[in-house]
Structures are given as structure tokens and as C-alpha cells.
Amino acid sequence: MTFSRKKVLALCVCTLLALISFPGYVDCANKKGSQAAAAAPPPAPIEPEAVIEEVNAKQLEKLLTDKDYVAVFWYARSCVTCDKVLAELEKIDDDTDSFGVDFVKINDKRLAKQYGIKNFPALTYFREKEPIIYDGDLMDEEGVLDFLTSLEAMDLPDRIEEVNSKILLKIIEDTDFVAVLFYDKDQKKSQKVLAELENIDDECDQNDIAFVKIDDDSEAKEWGIDDIPSIVFFERGIPHIYEGDLMKEDELLGWLVHQKRHSEIPEVTDEMKDKLIENTEHLAVIFYDKDDKQDIRVLNELENIDDELEKEGIVIVRIDNAAEAKEYGLDHLPALIYFENKIPALYEGDLMNEDEVLEWLILQKRTATIEEVTDEILIELINDHEYVVVFFTGPCEPGEKCDKTLSALESIDDELDEAGIIFVTTEDTNIAKKHNIKNYPQLVFFRNRDPLVFTGDLDDEDEVLSWITDEDTLEIPGKIEEVNTKMLDKILAENDHVVVFFYREGDKRAQKILNELENIDDECEEKDIDFVKTSDPDVDKEYDLASLPALAFYRHKFRTIYDGDLMKEEEILDWVIDLHESTADVIESVDRKTLQVLINDVEHLAVFFYDDKCESCPQILEELETIDDDTDKQGIQFVKSNDVKLAHEIGIFAFPALVYYETGVPIMYDGNLKNENRVLQWLINQKSEEEEDEEDEDEDDEDEDENNEDDEDEDEDDEEDDDEEDDDDEDDENDRKLKRKAKKAQRNRRNNDKNDDDDDDEDDDDDEDDDDDEDDDDDEDDDDDEDDDEDEDNEDDNNNDDVDEDEDDDDDEDDDEDEDEDEDDENGMSKLTYPKTDKSKEERLKRLKKNLRKKSQNDDDDDEDDDD
């Protein structure tokens, strides 16, 4: 059998295809590659960026049907402003989600017209399909967020607005009077109550009382509310529980209006009290038993000082909870505890004397006092805070030595507060005995619950303060020191290298990270690197941090944020040591807070503003970093900032940009930033011009002092002349007048000739003008000497005064001209960024001619007087 060449070729191709399609062959072929793929580590998960979702018309219609609160950003294609605004608004996308507001964007001009939108970009807020067009600044994302989460934006007619827990807290903080219905929308009783209460929603609005509802069991428990539905009225953040019948809406309305108009001490739950302690700076809590008649009488007395306390900014509440009172060591009721920044102080006076109570509370707020606590309160303070100083007095009566020592120690209470150290006193001795303290009074410093006894002189408060705030005393072995923001600013100002861990109190992840970081605290200390932590409220906003927790290394106040894994302490230690040992050969990056400090403190500062989305910025920054050392040699601090919002505040909207700050005053560079040599020369020129101006000002001050000395000498000579001329004869008076007027006319002619010469030489340089001024001053001095010699013997007071006034007028006019020229030079130097009036030569010439005409007119009047 024979096959043709075509058949043989077709057979080979079919055989090859069959082999390739066989599964085992494929597995064998890819086996090596699959093993390599399996050996490779999995890629790191990519965190999704916060972007506003794009929708079309149909999707938007469905969204408005399903959601109560929707924010819609309307934009157009090829709209540069739209892109800039969108970039800003995407920063708050996560925040709007947390507040229960859906944020979307759409490009549909036809649909936009239906909602009354003609210009782009625009923002519309839909509340149950009811739109509101935002008319504020869209570039201000914080302002947009405030609008979207405000009660005014959520308000719907004849409806009690539904809120979530986050919006509720914001409304309570921002609104003076808020009624909150805690309910369950699936509960029949809640549905009936809601139907009744919506009848008084408008009346509440008319009385400036906001009315909202929330269906959140966990939030209700947060406020100690066990029965649903319930009404809580918040008066400037202070809760009042309504105990009436919720089905009687008229009675509820009357109660709400009464609570608003008449101040009463509100009844709170245990959970409400804890929230108030956490959020209220000055709080007084009355623990009482509502079934005890004596307690009710005390309460009625204290109602009389409620208004005065409100004026002082002190919130007062009452609580009927015996178990809670025992937790504070209160064995006898009623009792009063004052909380200042969460630190309690026990009142030990007579509660029936409301004037004494008022005086004591105001004293606690206005003055630095060491809080009196019980053993139970002290135990809680020691467990909750790292630094607690306790003055154990033992039984101590007023006027005794222990009482005098306590009064002296109160002078250092403010300093300890600023350092974040709690200072309290107690007469109870149980805790003291547990720590083997037998002699009283005694001062003990608890550092992370570990006691350290003071052995110095208790009567020397300065020695006590130095001991408490000493680094060796504050240092806790194996622990990173906790500081507040005031103490942190002080540490950053006084230390060259500092590592700071920023975190939120109560964050479990942050606590795990702290446990790891404390393993490298000693190594940092060996390198003379301070390691501290801070968890003050809003510390992320204070230090411009994107998120918490965060770790930062500060070198001479300049910050570098760690972007690695915070759980790997060894890598963090290597990073810290590398930064510590490396030289700063790049332009330092600064945050908003640091930059504001530098602008205020540094005399010569250059700031490079850039945007992370700017494509040309990295290349330009790389070029500018080559002149960083040169600017340092010139005494110019060079930093960079990507704080777009701060740039907008000072008028910068295009990036990159360079601003030179001269003692806090900004000057914009308008040249080519890619030419680093020109940038360097411009910075040097700005600094040099400032120094020249300072030298000119010093010279002007010296000249002014010399002129003042000459004037004083002339005045002394004139006084001597006046004494001699009192005895002159009246017959010689007319001769002297004629001589003096002749001299005056001669001097005026010389001045006119001088001014004519000035007009001809107006285009000469400043140095020639200065020489002419000196020559003119010499001529005038010679003339003055001649006048003094001729008039020294006989001249009366009035004539001398006339001559002096004429000379002073001439000198003042010359000084005004010199000052005007100095102002012209200054304005010309700073015209780069701050447009000031630049006096041209033509304008100066006009002013000189005007002065000459005025002089000539005055001279003509004098000549007419002489003729008469």
C-alpha cells in the first residue's frame, strides 16, 4: 500500500493534535510550572480604594427606591473641576457609608436637568427620594460630610427621622435639644407609639426640639434602656428619661417643652453616667435613694444651684443605684462626687447647705486642687492609669501639718496634669497598709501599679515635682511611656530622635502591637532614642494621621511614617536604627502640625507642595533634593508637604508649587521648578534681600538717632539764645527781621535750585541721590550755623520759634521724601507674591513737583508779609 505525500502529511498533523489534546500530556507539560507556582508565596491582598460607585439612570432609580439616604455626585466628561472635586469627595466615601448614606456618581445630563441641575459638578442629597441640592463648597469635603450627616439635611415633614447609632451621637453632640425614640419597628407596640408620636413632630420643630428614632437594641443597651419603646430627651448632651405614657403624645409634648424651659437635675442610668463621665469635662453626680425622705430633701436643696452650675459649665445629674454607689466606696447616702476629666473627687461637707456645695464645685473647677478619693476609687485609678501619685494623709484635720503640706503640694497639680500624671489624696489607709506604709503623711508614685515611695522633703514642693517628672522616675522597665499630646509636643521639642506609637484606647489590635513593640524599647533606649505612646482623643486629627494605630519616627521634629507590618518588631527596630544612623540627604516630609510650627518658628523656610496624583512631582522633587544641602548651608530649611487642603488654604491649587516663608510671610516662586539651580539662586536672593532690608532699616535708625541728637543740640542753643534776648532793645528788632528774612529768601532760592536739579537727575541711581541729600544737609547745616551766629546776641522768643518751625518743616519734608523712597524699595522687593503699590519714577516726580509748588506758594505768602 502506498500513500501520497499529502496523505502522509495529513496523518502526521492529526497524530500530533491527538497527542497534544491528551490530558496526561498536558499535565506532564505543566507539571514543572505548576510546582513553581505552588512554591511561590501568594500575592498580598490588595486593599480596595475608597471610590464613589458609578451608576446609570436605572441603577440610580433602584437605589433611591431601596435606600432612604443617597448622595449623588453629578459630573460631566472632560471636566477638570469635576475630577478635582471627585478626588476630594472620595476621601469621605467611607465616612458616609458608616453614617448610613450611600454615595454614588453619575454622568447623565438629561437626568440632571430633571432634577434642576444645569452646571457641573453638582451634589444632590436624596432623603426618601426627596432631593436637596448642596450649595456649599464642593472642594471642602469635611463641609460636605457635615451637611450629609446633619439633622437639617435629614429632616422630612411630618416624619420622625430614622438614624443609626453614629448619626445619633453626632446629632446629640451638635444639637441642644433632641428627643430620641428607641423602638423596634417589628414590635406592634412600637408601631402604635410611633404612629401617635409623629403627630407632634411638627410641634417639636416649632419649639426647636429635634425628634429622631432609632431601631438598634445594642445602642439602647449602651444607654441603659431595657424597656422598648422608650423616650430619652437630651438637653445639651445630658439625658432625661421620660417615665410617662408614650401613647399620650400631648403629655409627652408638654414634658419635652417643660424640660427645655425649666432646668432640673436629670435622672440617669448607670450606663448614662459612664457615658457622661467619658464625654463631659466637668460633671457632678448625686448618689441617692429615691425612697429616702432625707435624700429627697437634699435633692430639692441642690435643685436651687442647678442654674448657677450650668453657667459655670458644670453638669449635675442624679442616680438611684445603691450597687453603683458601693463601687465608689460610698457607704452613706446621699453623696456627691465631682468628675473632672474622668478623675473623681469626693465632697465631704454638708449637702443640705447648697451654697457650700456650689462654692466647693466652683473651686474644684477653677483652681488646681488635689482630688480626695476613697480606697475603691483609688484602686480603679491605679488599675486604669499608668501614672498615679497618691498623698496618704491618714486621719487629717484642718490646720494640722498634713493639711498644710497638702495645700502646698496643690501648687504643682497643674504641672502634673500637663504631664498626664494623676495626683490624688486619701485619708483611707487600707491600700497604704497593703504596701507596708505605716507613717503618715506619705507620698507614693504608682507606675503601672508598681509603688515608689518618695523619701525627700514633702514640704519642698519643687523637690517633689522634680522627683515625679524625672525621667528615671517615670521610666517603667519594659514598658513604653504613655504621654498626652502636651507632653508629646514637649518631648519632640527637646529630643532629637523620638519614636511615637499613636493608637486608640481600647483597641485590641493596638494592644497586641504594643506588646510586640515593648520588646524593642530597651534597644531604642541604648541608641538614645525616646520611645513613647499616646492615645489622646482625636490624636489622629491632631497629628494628621491617615489611620490608627500608626508608628512614626521623628528626627528634629521631622516625621517619617512606618508603612510596614506593625507586628514585626525586629523589622521595626531595623527601620528605626537605619533612620537614626542615616544622614538626612533628602527633603524632609512634614505633616500639617509640624509645618505650622516651622512656619511660626523658622525664619527662613522653603516648602515644596505636591500632590500624590501629580505625575511630574517625583521627578521635580528628585532634582530639588540635589540642592537640599546647599539650602542648609545658606540657613534655609527645606521641607515638603502633600497636604493639599493646607495648600488650598494659602491659595495654591496647582501642583507642584514652591513657597518661601520669610518670618512667616509666604512668597510664591513663579519660575521653572525643573531648573534646580535657578530655584536655589532665587531662594538665596530672597534671603539676601531680606538681610539688606534689615541693614537699611538699621542705618535709617542710626541716622534718625543722629538727627534727633542734632535737634536736641539746636534746641539747647535756642534756649540759651532766648535767655539772652530777653534783655534786647526793641529798636534793633526791625533790623533783625530784615536780615533774617533776607537769609530766608536766599535759602529758599537755594532749595528751589536744588529741587530743579533733583528733577533733572531723577533717573540717577540711589547712591547719587544719597550723596545729594548729604550735600544738601551740609549746606543747610552751614546756613543754620550762620543764622545762629548772627542771631546769637539778640533775638526774641517768637522770632526764634518762627525760624525753628521753618527749619523743622524743611527737615520733615526731606524725611518724608526719604521714607517714601524706602517704602518704594520695600514694595518692589516683595511684589513677587504680595502685590503692593509700586511707586514709579514718574509718580515720585509728580509728588516732588507738588511739594515744590506748595513750598513756592508758602514762600510767596511770606514775601507778601515782608512787603506789608
**Predicted confidence (pLDDT) per residue in 339-349, tens digit:** 998 889 999 88
Is the same domain home to 337 and 457? yes
**What is residue 13's predicted lDDT score, i.e. its pLDDT?**
53
Helix axis angle for 23-39 and 5-20, nearest 10°, is 40
Residue-range definition of the domain harbouring residue 555: 475-582
Residue 150 corresponds to which cell in the numbers above? 446633619
Let me know whether 570 and 452 are in one domain.
no
> Does the residue 89 lie in any domain?
yes
Assess if residue 566 is contained within a domain: yes
Q: Please state, in angstroms and rounded to a whole number, the distance separating the CA atoms of residues 282 and 424.
A: 17
Grid cell in block for residue 434: 497593703
Last residue of a domain, one of 243, 262, 281: 262
The residue-averaged pLDDT of 506-513 equals 88
pLDDT over threshold 70, residue 805 = no
Say what the pLDDT of residue 559 is.
83
3-state secondary structure of 713: helix
467 and 341 in a single domain? The answer is yes
What confidence score (pLDDT) does residue 396 get?
Answer: 86
Mean pLDDT of the 289-295 span: 90
DSSP per residue over 307-376, as a string?
Answer: HHHHHHT-EEEEE--HHHHHHTT--SSSEEEEEETTEEEE--S-TT-HHHHHHHHHHHHHS--PEE--HH
In three state form, how does the secondary structure of 381-399 look? Answer: HHHHCCEEEEEECCCCCCC
Q: In the predicted model, is pLDDT for residue 525 greater than 80?
A: yes
Residue 192 shares a structural domain with residue 147: no
pLDDT confidence of 446, banded at 50, 70, 90?
very high
Average pLDDT for the chain? 77
The pLDDT assigned to 579 comes to 85
Mean pLDDT over 595-615 rounds to 86
798 within domain boundaries: no
pLDDT of 819 higher than 70: no
Domain final residue pick, 539, 557, 582: 582
Nearest to 337 by CA among 269, 412, 286, 409: 286
Where residue 111 falls among pLDDT bands split at 50, 70, 90? very high
Q: 527 and 623 in one domain?
A: no
308 and 456 co-located in one domain: yes
Mean pLDDT of 485-506: 87
Better-scored residue on pLDDT, 182 or 522: 182
Specify whether 505 is located in the same domain as 446.
no
Question: CA of 94: how far to CAs of 6, 125, 145, 330, in Å?
Answer: 68, 17, 11, 46
Q: CA nearest 554: which of 571, 569, 536, 576? A: 576
Q: How far apart are CA 482 and CA 448, in angstroms?
A: 10
pLDDT greater than 80 at residue 606: yes
Rounded Cα distance between 96 and 606, Å, is 37
Question: What pLDDT, on a 0 to 100 scale, did the predictor assign at position 843?
Answer: 58
Residue 310 belongs to some domain of the structure: yes
- Short-list 235, 126, 113, CA closest to 175: 235
In the three-class reduction of DSSP (H, G, I as helix; E, B as strand; rest coil), residue 644 is classed as helix
Question: Is the model more confident about 119 or about 777?
Answer: 119
Shortest CA distance to 483 belongs to which of 462, 499, 463? 499
Residues 148 and 56 in one domain: yes
Buried residues in 669-689 as b, exposed as e (16+ CB within 10 A): beeebeebeebbebbeebbeb
Q: What is the pLDDT of residue 746?
A: 53
Cα–Cα distance, 758 to 442 (Å, whole number): 85
168 within some domain: yes
Residue where the block lists cell 465631704: 348
* pLDDT of 709 over the 50 cut: yes
Q: What cell does 778 get?
A: 551740609
For 310-336, the pLDDT digits (tens) are 888 899 999 999 889 998 888 889 999
Query: For residue range 367-388, what is the model confidence (pLDDT) as tens digits?
Result: 878 888 888 889 989 888 888 9
413 and 468 together in one domain: yes
846 domain-assigned: no
Q: Are 320 and 290 in contact (CB under 8 A)?
A: yes
- Quote the percentage of the chain above a pLDDT of 90: 20
- Confidence at 828, pLDDT banded by 50, 70, 90: very low
Query: Length of the chain, please?
Result: 868
pLDDT in tens, 669-691: 988 998 989 999 999 988 887 66
- Per-residue pLDDT of 635-667, as tens digits, reads 898 888 888 877 887 778 888 999 999 888 888
Q: What cell was used for 373?
A: 478619693
Rounded to 5°, angle at Cα 719 from 715 and 720: 120
The predicted structure's pLDDT at residue 607: 92
Choose the final residue of a domain: 473, 501, 532: 473
Judged by DSSP in three states, 14 sits in helix
Give which of 653, 667, 676, 501 is closest to 576, Cα–Cα: 501
Q: Is residue 759 part of a domain?
A: no
Segment 33-48 mean pLDDT: 41
- Name the domain count of the chain: 5
Q: Tell me the C-alpha distance between 345 and 367, whole Å.
A: 13
Report angle CA 693, 696, 697 to the nearest 5 degrees. 85
Average pLDDT over residues 260-283: 87
Coil/strand/helix, residue 178: strand
Assess whether 368 and 350 both reside in one domain. Answer: yes
Q: Based on the domain organization, do 410 and 286 belong to the same domain?
A: yes
Contacts of 35 by beta carbon, 8 Å cutoff, 6+ apart: none
Answer whether 264's CB lies under 8 Å from 212's CB: no
Answer yes or no: do 459 and 335 share one domain: yes
Within a domain: residue 811?
no
Q: What is the pTM of this model?
A: 0.55
Which pLDDT does position 811 carry in this prediction?
Answer: 47
- Binning pLDDT at 50, 70 and 90, where does residue 454 land? very high
- Looking at residue 309, which CATH number applies to its domain? 3.40.30.10
| pLDDT tens per residue, range 5-27 | 555 555 555 555 555 444 444 34
Task: Copy the grid coordinates of residue 504.
Answer: 486608640
